[in-house]
């Protein structure tokens, strides 16, 4: 498989992570306000956690498992967050997940990045469905998902475990026909 591409939007460049992003990733993802709303970011989260996470990306992309993009500002290149997509080839579908550093919230970055990744998945990766979910108390993420064209499909009770707590989740998805 070719190297992971970068995706450019009006204000952002979504590019593969580099090892020198680790300190910024740890600072932003280590924020409890980010970790609380995500499934996979432990708290506390330190630079070594980010280094180990970034080290998995190349193989995950090469094997078609996932793509992780650093959300960076087009002007200046500052790292602002992360958006990832996991592929489920058997079902020709993919799942997106993202976070934005608190200092960058409310500027439309998650929505702008999300639109680009959904488009890339449909146009370049041949998926027929893109889905996502968020905790029921994550109104900002539910709004992002709606803004990028995923439709709210339902409530899955006790869908995941965060630590020892079962979490209800709102389910979102968009299928190819709707996207086109
Ligand atoms: C969710 C998150 C990614 C949003 O990032 P962002 O770049 O600020 O998102 P955007 O600016 O593109 O859009 C946010 C939308 O949510 C709205 N919003 C924000 N807080 C809200 C709240 N408490 N209630 C309702 N809507 C809210 C904003 O007004 C905006 O909608 P609008 O454009 O219609 O006004 C960011 O808050 C984050 O990283 N949170 C922690 C991690 C996380 O939740 N990840 C997603 C896991 S499913």
- 8-67 pLDDT per residue, tens: 999 999 999 999 999 999 999 999 999 999 999 999 999 999 999 999 999 999 999 999
Give 67 Cα–ligand 1 centroid separation in angstroms. Answer: 22
Give 145 Cα–ligand 1 centroid separation in angstroms. Answer: 9
The structural domains of the chain, ordered by start, are 7-128 (3.40.630.30)
Q: Read off the pLDDT of residues 2-21 as tens digits, 9 standing for 90 and up.
A: 799 999 999 999 999 999 99
Question: Vertex 118, ends 72 and 165: CA angle to 5°?
Answer: 85
What is the C-alpha separation between 125 and 142, in angstroms, rounded?
24
Which residue, by CA, sits nearest to atom 36 of ligand 1? 100
Q: Which of 152, 127, 126, 39 is nearest to 144 (CA)?
A: 152
Which residue, by CA, sits nearest to atom 32 of ligand 1? 143
For residue 105, the ligand 1 atom closest to its alpha carbon is 8
Q: Read off the pLDDT of residues 87-128 as tens digits, 9 standing for 90 and up.
A: 999 999 999 999 999 999 999 999 999 999 999 999 999 999
102 — phi, psi (to 5°)?
A: -55, -35
Q: Which of 148, 128, 145 is nearest to 136 (CA)?
A: 145
The answer, yes or no, to whether the previous bond of 44 is cis (omega within 30 of 0) is yes
């Amino acid at each position: 498989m070719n190297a992971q591409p970068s995706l450019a939007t009006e204000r952002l460049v979504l590019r593969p992570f580099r090892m020198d992003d680790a300190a910024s990733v740890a600072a932003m993802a280590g924020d409890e306000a980010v970790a609380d709303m995500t499934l996979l970011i432990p708290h506390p989260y330190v630079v070594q956690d980010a280094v180990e996470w970034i080290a998995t990306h190349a193989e995950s992309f090469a094997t078609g498992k996932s793509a992780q993009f650093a959300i960076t500002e087009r002007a200046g290149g500052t790292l602002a967050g992360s958006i990832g997509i996991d592929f489920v080839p058997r079902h020709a579908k993919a799942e997106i997940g993202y976070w934005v550093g608190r200092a960058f919230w409310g500027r439309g970055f998650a929505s702008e990045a999300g639109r680009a990744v959904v488009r890339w998945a449909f146009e370049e990766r041949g998926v027929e469905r893109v889905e996502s979910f968020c905790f029921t108390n994550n109104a900002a993420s539910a709004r992002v998902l709606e803004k990028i064209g995923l439709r709210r499909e339902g409530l899955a009770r006790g869908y995941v475990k965060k630590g020892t707590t079962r979490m209800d989740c709102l389910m979102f998805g968009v299928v190819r026909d709707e996207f086109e």
